[in-house]
Structures are given as C-alpha cells and as structure tokens.
Amino acid sequence: MLTRKDFTIYPAIDVLEGRVVRLSEGRREAVTVEGGDPVAAAERFAEDGAAWLHLVDLDGAFSGAPDLDLVSRIAAVGPPVQVGGGYRSLDTIQHALAAGAARVLVGTAALDEEFLAAIAIRFGERVAVAIDARDGTVTVQGWTRSAELAPEELAHRCAAAGIRRVLVTSTRRDGTLSGPDLPLLETVLAAGLPVIAAGGIAALDDLRVLRELGCEGAVTGSAIWLDRFTLAEAVGLETRSA
C-alpha cells in the first residue's frame, strides 16, 4: 500500500548564550534542560532521521538581533532549518535565508499588516508566521509582552495577506510537558492555513492527536530532551497509509 508524508516532526534547538536549553513558558530564568552544543544537537537529530530542524535564537528573540553565524552553522549540518528569534525586518529575513535557513519565522513584526503583506509577496514559502499565544492573546518581543490581538484574528490576517503557514505555540504550555492546547489550535486551523503545533507535547499520543486534528507538523523539544520518546519514534509517525 502506498504511503504519503502528511505530518512533519521538527526537533527543537533553542539556543541561549551559545548553548541548547529548554525554558519553562519561555521564561529566561526558568531553564529546565541544558543540552550543550547546538551543532552537536543538530548532528544528532540529523542522524536520527529529522526531515527538518527547528532553531530558535532565544537571545535574538529577546534582543531583536539574531545570530546569523548560528544559522549558518546549523544549516551546514544538512536538514532544512526553520529559524526564529528576532526576525523583524526584511533585511534580517533575507540575511537568514542567505545564511542557509530554509524558512524564517516572523513573530512580533507580523502584527504590522503592511509588513505581513510584504513578506508574503517577497518570500512566499520561505517565511512563516509564529503565532505565540498566552491567555487568549498573542504575545510578542520574546513572549515578554501581550498584544491586544486574538491568535485566530492574526491567523485570518495571515491568510488574507498570503502567508503560506503558521507555527502556533501555547506559551503557557511550552516546556511544561502538559499536553498541547487543542482548543487554541482548532481556532487557528479554522483560518484555513497549514499549522505547525508547538507547546506542551509530552507523548507520542500527543503527536497522533495533533496529526488527526489536521496540523501539518509539530515542534517537539522537552519530550525528546527528557526521554519521553525518541526522535526516531516520533519520525515514525510522519507517514501513514493513504
């Protein structure tokens, strides 16, 4: 029987001050995992079958000045890399792509509707919008500030502007292993865009639920780093009988 790829696992490489970490709810002071060298992590994930890598420059997210050398070093490992953390101008997006990123995630700057339309036209599939949500509103600037905007409203703006996909993170659940926020994801999926889910994933069953919900993929970090399941086991869910 033929199989098709309909769900993608994105192992997370979150980098703070040059080292891989996992943060609880995105709080800089709440480090729950120390993962060492980011290039070594990328190499290990590639060996375990990662089709994509998910790189977040936490220093860039907090400062608005992403580290392009970090992008280049991770991209050199092999699998395509989607990168986020501080990409708030056309130039920084272009520079990340030139450094080897396959896709750049835009968060804070996506609230500017003119900028949203501009990146959709200029970058197409090479850009996606990160919708980070806490308590029913979008969070920005490294999750340090709430915007007066519902995540589903931002998703509809993205669809209208021509954005090709969104990454949706429940910041209250990120790094907590408390399970994905299914109601949040359902409201964003209603906008009609492909959705990559993030935040709270703790078990292989969570990934199965997200796939059946209609998500295009999922970012998994703490569950892999804390041995809840292996990346190879997660990658095994990427195909199913058609």
pLDDT per residue as tens, the chain (242 positions)? 233 358 999 999 999 989 988 665 556 655 656 668 999 999 999 999 999 999 999 888 888 889 999 999 999 999 999 999 989 999 999 999 999 999 999 998 999 999 999 999 999 999 999 999 998 999 887 666 778 899 999 999 999 999 999 999 998 887 788 999 999 999 999 999 999 999 999 999 999 999 999 999 999 998 998 899 999 999 998 865 43
Count of beta carbons in the 10 Å neighbourhood of residue 30: 12
Residue 26 in domain:
yes
Selected catalytic residue, list 57, 59, 67, 132:
132
Among 166, 167, 164, 170, smallest CA distance to 182 is for 170
Q: Which domain holds residue 161?
A: 3-237
132 a catalytic residue? yes
Domains contained in the chain, number: 1
- 14, 57, 67, 174: the catalytic one is 14
pTM, to two decimals: 0.91
Q: For residue 221, what are its two tokens?
A: 């970090």
For residue range 8-56, list pLDDT tens digits in order: 999 999 999 899 886 655 566 556 566 689 999 999 999 999 999 999 9
- C-alpha–C-alpha distance, residues 62 and 78, integer Å: 27
Q: Strand 19-23 to strand 31-36: parallel, antiparallel, or no bridges (unpaired)?
A: antiparallel
Half-sphere exposure of 94 (CA within 13 A, CB side): 6
Residue 169 counted as domain residue:
yes
Q: Is the dihedral of CA 44, 123, 7, 202 positive or negative?
A: positive
| Residue 80 resides in a domain | yes
Give me the CATH number covering residue 8. 3.20.20.70
Is position 135 within any domain? yes
Asked whether residue 242 is assigned to any structural domain, the reply reads no
Query: Is residue 117 in a domain?
Result: yes
